[in-house]
Structure 1
Amino acid sequence: MYAVRQYEFGSPDTLRYERVADPEPGPGQVRIAVTAAAAYPHDIAVRSSAGNAARCPLPELPVIPGHEVAGTVDAVGAGVDGAWLGRRVVTQLGLASGGYAELVVREVAALHAIPDGLDDAVAVAVLGAGRAALGILDVARPGAGDIVLVTAAASGVGTLLVQAACGAGATVAGAAGGPDELKQVRLAGADLAVDRSSAGWCELLTAQLYGRRPTIVVDGVGGQIGCQARDLLEVGGRLVVHGWSSGTPTEIGMTELYERELTASVISGGHPAPCRGGVRALEERALAEAARGTLDPVVRRHPLRQAAQVQAGLSISGAAGAVVFVP
């Protein structure tokens, strides 16, 4: 099979598209012929050894990046029901990675059957981003009467957050960087879109809201942008932090929480929210919502052989929409 392997930490040139041995499923495992592999800012952080941004231990090299794939089961190991053969599935690979490849193996218990009618690339895009978005929304609880500010509104997760918050009846303001991202934010259904890279973006947003303030800020940027968004919150508002692509998290102190009657939550990507059934239940919900069309990720497909070139055009802060590699 062909796969992308990383031999050292550094620039995208450290990624090599090459032939490697086909993996074979062991007991309790299946082999998946990959049709779509999700690419995340996490992959770029690991490749460049930006450990703080990756927020996880760096792998031993060489490694095949990629943590989530969709495809068709083409072989089963001992003890696995042969009925899995030929089924379309999507799965996260855990810390083992290995997704940037034509073939992967995974324990059968970790698989999700892809709902009929749902495209493989959409399924893998929504597995992680949808899981995260639903976990964030379970904490943020937007509803009619809320004004929700999403600071990374053009990202894979941010697009889904905008859609879902709009669907809950909230007024949604999406912050993004540049005209292309702003266009996507509007297409996702946001009531307002503001360029967070422009000076005075907070004042512009306040003017567009006719002096009203957000009741919920969902922040995936951190740094100065996150702090500015925090300061916009209405008294009694909710701050939900799910990342800090800027490199530093949004700061907030107990005094500010107390004086402005705010609540603050941090949602980890690995465990996006306490929920009945855990992470797997959120993944099932995300796939079901995508099958119904209520979660509709923007998917940008690229050939797997171009992984190095694609990563060269991205950054740890991510890209507009979800990036998926197709073998």
Structure 2
Amino acid sequence: MYATVLHEYGPPENLRYERVPDPVPGPGQVRIEVRAAGVHLIETVMRAGLSIDMAPPPPELPAVFGGEVAGTVESVGPDVDPAWLGTRVVVGASSPGGYAELAVAEVSALHRIPGDLGFEAAVAMVVTGTTALELLDVAQLTPADTVLVTSAAGGVGQLVVQYARDLGATVIGAAGGPDKVEMVRALGVDLAVDYNQPHWEKTVGDRVVTAVLDGVGGDKGRAAFELIADGGRYVTIGNASQGDFTPDPARAVTTTNALMVLLSRRAESPAFTIRALAAAAEGKLVPAVQAFPLAEAAAAHAALENRATSGKVVLVP
């Protein structure tokens, strides 16, 4: 089979598309014919050989990344029910190796893809969709909220915007650059703003922001925080900028790092995954996907690092 392999830590171009031996499913495992593999920002950090908080350590080399996989079960390991053969499945928490034509996964981690949901959408929802629903559970938005979502054009951000809009809240979506702002506007927000513009926060006008779901951090997170009315809440749902920002504790604003809350709730994640996949299959949540050929995984990593993507990045063999 073909896979994208990392032999040396460093820049994206160190990812090489090459032929490797087919993986063999062991006890309790299945082998999946990969139709879509998710790419995560953390994998770009691991590829560079760096270590950061809340990220796995760099892998032993050579390595094939990709724990988020959707496809069809084409063989099973010893003691696995052969009824799995031919089943459309998605997995988001199993062995790496998804940047390939074939991947092995634990049968205990599999989710059946519901209805007619496509492979790319399924792999977008299995982690990104699950995370979005978990973050929203922490945020506890209501129809009375005026919510500002930063990084609103991202994979999680777009789902958060859709949920808040359908809930009936007033939604302000912030993103970087005209193209991404137009994408956010197309989601039906009440206001779309470009946070790459100077003093972007002033475009919010007289709207009283009661909640910020911040996926950017840094200076943009600080500007968003300053828009919150007393009694409002600031919920951290990401840190795309990798910038430092500590909310002012003197403000009458409730601050929550939802990402840290999620780490303590990992046992609840499978239930959220089932909800996320069902919501996508029913058309209640529509994940945005940006697909790259498996052979162009290096380009996918470069685009992610340069924040030149929108929605969930996936590789397609």
TM-score normalised by length of structure 1: 0.92
Give the aligned partner of residue 164 of structure 2.
165
- Kindly tell me the number of residue pairs found equivalent between the two proteins: 317
- Ranges in structure 2 where 5+ consecutive residues have no aligned partner: none
Structure 1 match to 2:107: 108
After superposition, give the CA deviation of every residue in 1:11-45 in whole Å (9 maximum; x if it has no partner).
11110000111011111111111000011222222
Secondary structure (helix, strand or coil) at the match of 1:251 reads: coil
* Residue 323 in structure 1 maps to residue 313 in structure 2: yes
Q: CA deviation at 1:253?
A: 4.2
The answer as to whether partners of 2:128 and 2:155 remain within 8 angstroms in 1 is: yes
Which residue identity lines up with residue 164 of structure 1 in the other structure? Y
Indicate yes or no: 2:211 matched with 1:220: no
Q: 1:272 to 1:68 in 2, by over 3 A?
A: same
1:196-275 to structure 2, matched below 5 A, reads 196-205=195-204, 207=205, 211-256=206-251, 260=252, 262-268=253-259, 271=262, 274=265
Classify the secondary structure of the residue corresponding to 1:66.
Answer: coil
Cα pair 2:50 2:57 within 8 Å, conserved? no
Give the structure-2-normalised TM-score. Answer: 0.95
Residues 64 and 97, structure 1, Cα contact 8 Å, conserved in 2: yes
- For residues 20 and 49 of structure 1, the distance between their equivalents in structure 2, rounded to whole angstroms, comes to 22
SS at the partner of 1:254? coil
Matches of 1:101 and 1:202 in 2, distance apart?
A: 43
Is the partner of 2:74 in helix, strand or coil? strand
Q: Structure 1 unaligned segments of length 5 or more: list them.
A: none
Does the Cα contact within 8 Å between 2:289 and 2:310 map onto a contact in 1?
Answer: no
Matches within 5 A, 1:58-77: 58-77=58-77
User: Hey, what's the Cα distance between the residues in 2 that align with 1:12 and 1:242?
Assistant: 26
Alpha-carbon separation, structure 2, partners of 1:92 and 1:313: 22
1:312 counterpart residue number: 302
* Structure 1 residues 81 and 269, CA gap change in structure 2 (3 angstroms): farther
Q: 2:12 is matched by which residue type in structure 1?
A: P
Instruction: Give the C-alpha shift of residue 273 in structure 1.
Output: 7.1
Q: Is the 8 A contact 1:243 1:249 kept in 2?
A: no
CA drift at 1:308:
1.3
List per-residue Cα deviations over 1:238-280 (Å, max 9, x = no partner): 1110221111343124333xxx1x21111228936748x6111
CA distance in 2 between counterparts of 1:53 and 1:282 reads 24
Q: Determine helix, strand or coil for the equivalent of 2:71.
A: strand
Amino acid at match of 2:117: L
Matched to 1:174, the amino acid is: G
Contact 2:290 2:309 in 1 (8 A): no
What is the aligned partner in structure 2 of residue 292 from structure 1? 282
Corresponding position of 1:55? 55
Indicate the residue corresponding to 2:27 in structure 1.
27
Alpha-carbon contact 1:68-1:92 (below 8 Å) kept: yes
Deviation at 1:176, TM superposition (A): 0.4
Q: Structure 1 counterpart of 2:225, which letter? A: R
Query: How far apart are residue 300 of structure 1 and its match?
Result: 1.6
The percentage of aligned residue pairs carrying the same residue is 47
What CA distance in whole angstroms lies between the structure 1 residues aligned with 2:181 and 2:119? 27
Q: Given residue 287 of structure 2, which amino acid in structure 1 is its aligned partner?
A: P
Letter in 1 for 2:279: E
How far is 1:323 from its partner?
1.3
Distance 2:245 2:106 in 1: 37
Q: Which residue of 1 aligns with 2:133?
A: 134
Secondary structure at the residue paired with 2:123? helix
Distance 2:238 2:50 in 1: 15
What residue number does 1:191 align with?
190
The one-letter code of the counterpart of 2:161 is V
Q: Distance in 1 between matches of 2:38 and 2:127?
A: 9
Cα deviation code 1:172-224 (max 9, x no counterpart): 1011000110111012221111000110101111x2xxx12211100111001
Amino acid at match of 2:255: A
Higher mean Cα deviation, 126-135 or 48-57? Answer: 48-57
**Aligned amino acid, residue 85 of structure 2:** L
